[in-house]
Amino acid sequence: MKVILCENYDEMSAKAANIFAAQLTLKPDSILGLATGSTPVGMYKKLIEKNEAGEIDFSAVRTFNLDEYYPIKRDNSQSYFTFMNENLFSHVNIDINNTCIPNGEAEDAEKECKEYEKMLAEAGGVDLQVLGIGQNGHIGFNEPDEKLESYTHVTGLTESTINANARFFDSVNDVPTKGITMGMASIMSAKKIVILASGESKKDAVKALLDDKITTSVPATLLKTHPDVILICDKEAYAL
């Protein structure tokens, strides 16, 4: 795993955006794997600026998001569908038909998972995946467990994740308790992965990412077996 240590969140976001820009320069029809949450927002802002400046073009890009709450209405202000539109898609020249997010409104969630995995495979897999990391080491909604799921699946969210995400909702009771997420094998099949970590609350997860152990109790540690992962983090996240 390559590590890029940054002074602060802004530098982390700029470095990550530069890697995405380089990817689109090299392969304009890239398949991008996208994440939500606070961490990639700065990177998305910089990608919007680069798109506005004519430095990068999203017209041929396809995207797959890691996850979505389940069940949730797409027009809920906290759905990842809304998040992606507000933080990236509505600001760049992407064809919205080329963007895929697990459907939190699906009546048959199991069927939705199978179809999502099939679409990913048919697209030929993700070229560049961005990940955030949970305080508990989750990636996507792959929460710490004895066994991790390989492919897209419905999952329960842990108390740690529900509490961490409560900041976006009126109350902790409003946070959905389930999600649809790509599985570990779906994520690991990306050709290149950039994982971002910012702030003191991520320091334990980053420490686990950088020691020499792999454990399903910190799902992100499985990334150590991937041949092309770049961790970009700020000093606070790197503290331990």
Catalytic residue positions, numbered: 67, 136, 138, 143
Closest separation between CB of residue 71 and ligand F6R, Å?
17
CA distances from 237 to 14, 100, 180 (A): 17, 30, 27
139 interacts with ligand F6R by CB under 6 A: yes
DSSP, residue by residue, 182-212: --HHHHHTSSEEEEEE-SGGGHHHHHHHHSS
Closest separation between CB of residue 24 and ligand F6R, Å?
21
Q: Which among 53-61, 113-121, 133-141, 148-156 is the span making contact with ligand F6R, rule CB under 6 A? A: 133-141
179 interacts with ligand F6R by CB under 6 A: no
Measured between alpha carbons, how far is 221 from 231 in angstroms, rounded to an integer?
12
Cβ burial, residue 91 (10 Å; 0-12/13-18/19+): middle
129 interacts with ligand F6R by CB under 6 A: no
Closer by beta carbon to ligand F6R, 94 or else 237: 237
Q: Per the structure block, which two tokens stand in for 172? A: 């902790």
102 interacts with ligand F6R by CB under 6 A: no
Q: Per the structure block, which two tokens stand in for 31? A: 């398949």
Binding marks (x or -) toward ligand F6R, 22..41, rule CB under 6 A? -------------xxxxx--
Measured between alpha carbons, how far is 168 from 187 in angstroms, rounded to an integer?
25
Amino acid at 136: N
Measured between alpha carbons, how far is 49 from 228 in angstroms, rounded to an integer?
27
132 interacts with ligand F6R by CB under 6 A: yes
Closest separation between CB of residue 180 and ligand F6R, Å?
11
Closer by beta carbon to ligand F6R, 38 or else 216: 38
Closer by beta carbon to ligand F6R, 25 or else 215: 215
74 DSSP 8-state letter: T
Give the binding-site size for ligand F6R (rule: CB under 6 A): 13
Q: Given the rule CB under 6 A, which residues bind ligand F6R?
A: 35-39, 66-67, 132-134, 138-140
